[in-house]
Structure 1
Amino acid sequence: MADEPSTRRRNRLWERAVAFESRCVNKLTGPKQQSTKAYLLRISIELLEEIISHLDLLSQFMFSRTCRAGRILTQKDWKDASLALPESEQTSFWAAVAYKLPNHWVCARCCTLHETDRSDTPRSQQSPPCQQGETLDTLGRSYKLRHTHIELALKFRRLGTNTAYLSELLEPCEYRAYRGAGSWKSGSPNVTIHIPRIVEGRFCLQVIKEFHGYEALHEIRSFRICRHQLFPWWYWGIKDWGVFEKNTEAVWHRPGNVYDGHCQCCPVDYSILRDDDVLRVTLWYDFGTGKSPRDLEWVVHLGDETDIYSNGLYVNVKDHDPGSIRKSFQQSSFNHMVRGVVRGMTLGSRKLCRTAREVMMAYKLG
């Protein structure tokens, strides 16, 4: 009997929610059409509560966003409720919550949402303290990419919001190192360029590394293109993890020839070319759809923080055709160039017409 008042109150709330939903239907359908109550609202509250009790937390949250009645039946503190989930499921839960929130992103370390900060971009290298260890360190010192940037860029493009911040997240970054400068390290690339782009709903990145004036291949400092390919490769215990070094050596001894390749453990394509005294390495990465910072499509690039060489993560990339990332990115670059040309022609013709009108008006006034 102790629960009877609360049950009556809940039933009254349910009745009010049903009435509210019916009024909304009336407004949408118009007075001339016969409004019908939604099928969901015809079910008794007891049966709906029984159905909801069998849903996982994420499904309950999604149901709570469908209508006012759903919010009444599932009302709870979602943050407290998420604490009962395993850590991996907590991250997936908050990633789903953040999917349509343009001003928030999910933090895998805190298992919660953080507000966006426009000063946080891969080029600015500003990140919250909780994001230590979440940066992709295979891209070099000048470009600190995190899953946060990928999630927000894809979300902004999908929702059509925060266009200024989106432009900053997709801004190319060029870093030049000069011999003799204080920051110069012998064997480093002289030029490093990062070009991010959203291609078919996925966050892709082109990286260009140029090594100028090296007389021998052994003068180049060791560097990684991903968690599985290193130059020079010194850990020969894993099959096919030294292919990049072999291709680089082949290019070095055959100037003018282009060697294309890919990683068999993660979605990365590359091209290597030696032209005169320049060794140019071009890389194309596919970082996925940005849904969760613990999805394998991102973590396979991030790798294992404790021992990336002997215990690196890998994935059997069935959906990655060798060279497909390179081709998609190049096609996107061509389309981007065409749009720029058309836009320039349109703006140019408008400016010409405006100038002509101004000249004619000045002539008439004169």
Structure 2
Amino acid sequence: MPLLQSLYALYRWFFPDPTPAAPNCPILGLPDELVLCITGHLAAHDQFLLTQTCRTMRRLVSRDWNEYLRSRSLSERNNFLIAVAYGSPYHWACETCGRLHTIDPDDLPSVSRSPTCVQPIEYGARIWARYYLEHHHIQLALKLYGRGVNTNYLEGLLTTHHYTTISSDLTISYTARPRIAEGHFLLRERIIVGNGNNRATYSNMQHSWMTICPHMAMVDSPWDYRGMVAWLHQTAELYQAVTQAILHPGQEIHRHCRWCPTDYSAFYHQRHGQLVFSAWHDFGAYGSVSNPYWSSQARRQTGRGHQLPPRFSRMPGASRAAYTNRRLWRL
């Protein structure tokens, strides 16, 4: 079904019988030319929503929306769809198929599910330790939080996730705590590697694929030289943080990723042989998958490629400050 047919069907469900506005509606008491002058300053998605309020507004503001969308770029069409979806508390905008999907109450980051539509890799999720954070989870959480609706599903999206894996070599405990602050979706992760019986070491951590962000991960180096150069650039700082933490047990070593809005720290408990990592992610505000706050963390950029990703312009410590509501967030 074409995009506009889907949108019209959705709004007909919300407004099954649009009627003319009441005669005492102040704006409709103005001359048509003046109303058009006012509505001409509205964004296209606001004009579309305005046409759904009453027949008079539909007559005044209506245009060939199918032709309008055909003449727009893909990013403009996606932004239009996302803006329209903001008005519907039970739907989300899918940029893969260009349609609105109904919310599935069982679709949560803590539950592994097949995607509604097959997504390109750049739309991919932030996945680790059975926490499957997709872009539409962020889109929905920010919308529902901002509108104060569908709170039961919102609580599920913001629920703390725990996962522990135990093997003969290593024990890893993972906790994810999402929250919303200043209109941004934030995530704090805590990763505890090792215990009294299986102490954290470089060798067993390298096989764990312990991940801070797409650019900071405990993985083996690639064999080819060009891949090795990118890998060294992206992982050297993480290894340095681990080294500093082990050399200074009990001291929290703070670092940040230069390629995405992620701050992290490493802390070594010498008595228990545990390395404790904390990571603070900022996934940005409500919007498209092209938002660099999301795209820089969603793409698989773990250093096995031959090129370094672009630098992310962000003050070190800003993501951590945003999560903890410190003043640095406003700088």
- Fold conserved (TM > 0.5)? yes
1:298 is the counterpart of 2:291: no
Whether the 8 Å contact between 1:256 and 1:274 is mirrored in structure 2 is yes
**C-alpha separation between the residues in 2 aligned to 1:67 and 1:312?**
52
1:154-303 equivalent positions in 2, closer than 5 A: 154-180=142-168, 186=169, 190-212=172-194, 213-214=198-199, 216-220=201-205, 221=207, 222-231=209-218, 234=221, 235-237=228-230, 241=234, 242-276=236-270, 277-303=273-299
**Larger CA Rg, structure 1 vs 2:** 1
Cα RMSD (Å): 3.3
What one-letter code is carried by the residue in structure 1 that aligns with 2:23? R
1:126 CA displacement: 2.0
TM-score by length of 1: 0.69
Corresponding residue number in structure 1 for 2:15? none
Whether the 8 Å contact between 1:227 and 1:308 is mirrored in structure 2 is no
1:254 CA displacement: 2.6
Corresponding residue number in structure 2 for 1:86? 73
Corresponding residue number in structure 1 for 2:133? 145
1:315 CA displacement: 4.6
**C-alpha separation between the residues in 2 aligned to 1:146 and 1:177?**
22
Q: Secondary structure at the match of 2:132?
A: coil
Q: Quick check: which one's helix share is greater?
A: 1
Corresponding residue number in structure 2 for 1:330? 324
Is the deviation greater in 67-76 or in 168-177?
67-76
What one-letter code is carried by the residue in structure 1 that aligns with 2:131? Y
What one-letter code is carried by the residue in structure 2 that aligns with 1:323? G
**C-alpha separation between the residues in 1 aligned to 2:300 and 2:67?**
30
Corresponding residue number in structure 1 for 2:102? 115
Is the deviation greater in 158-167 or in 57-66?
57-66
Closer, same or farther: CA 316–135 of 1 in aligned 2, 3 Å: closer
**C-alpha separation between the residues in 2 aligned to 1:40 and 1:300?**
49
1:79 CA displacement: 5.8
Q: C-alpha deviations, 1:24-66, integer Å up to 9, x for none?
A: 33xxxxxxxxxxx538941449x949x96x9874464255357
**C-alpha separation between the residues in 2 aligned to 1:219 and 1:306?**
19
**C-alpha separation between the residues in 1 aligned to 2:300 and 2:58?**
40
Unaligned runs of 5+ in 1: 1-19, 26-36, 181-185, 333-366
Identity %: 28
**C-alpha separation between the residues in 1 aligned to 2:87 and 2:49?**
12
1:150 CA displacement: 0.7
Q: Secondary structure at the match of 1:236?
A: helix
Closer, same or farther: CA 73–61 of 1 in aligned 2, 3 Å: same
1:293 CA displacement: 2.3
Whether the 8 Å contact between 1:121 and 1:169 is mirrored in structure 2 is yes
Unaligned runs of 5+ in 2: 1-19, 222-227, 327-331
1:270 CA displacement: 0.5
What one-letter code is carried by the residue in structure 1 that aligns with 2:76? E
**C-alpha separation between the residues in 1 aligned to 2:302 and 2:251?**
38
1:331 CA displacement: 4.2
What one-letter code is carried by the residue in structure 1 that aligns with 2:229? W
TM-score by length of 2: 0.75
Closer, same or farther: CA 44–203 of 1 in aligned 2, 3 Å: closer
Higher relative contact order (CA 8 A, sep 6+): 2
1:231 CA displacement: 2.9
Whether the 8 Å contact between 1:303 and 1:313 is mirrored in structure 2 is no
Q: Quick check: which one's strand share is greater?
A: 2
Whether the 8 Å contact between 2:164 and 2:174 is mirrored in structure 1 is yes
Closer, same or farther: CA 305–233 of 1 in aligned 2, 3 Å: closer
**C-alpha separation between the residues in 1 aligned to 2:112 and 2:231?**
33
Q: Secondary structure at the match of 1:114?
A: strand
Closer, same or farther: CA 295–65 of 1 in aligned 2, 3 Å: farther
**C-alpha separation between the residues in 1 aligned to 2:29 and 2:135?**
38
**C-alpha separation between the residues in 2 aligned to 1:162 and 1:150?**
15
**C-alpha separation between the residues in 2 aligned to 1:237 and 1:144?**
26
Q: Secondary structure at the match of 1:148?
A: helix
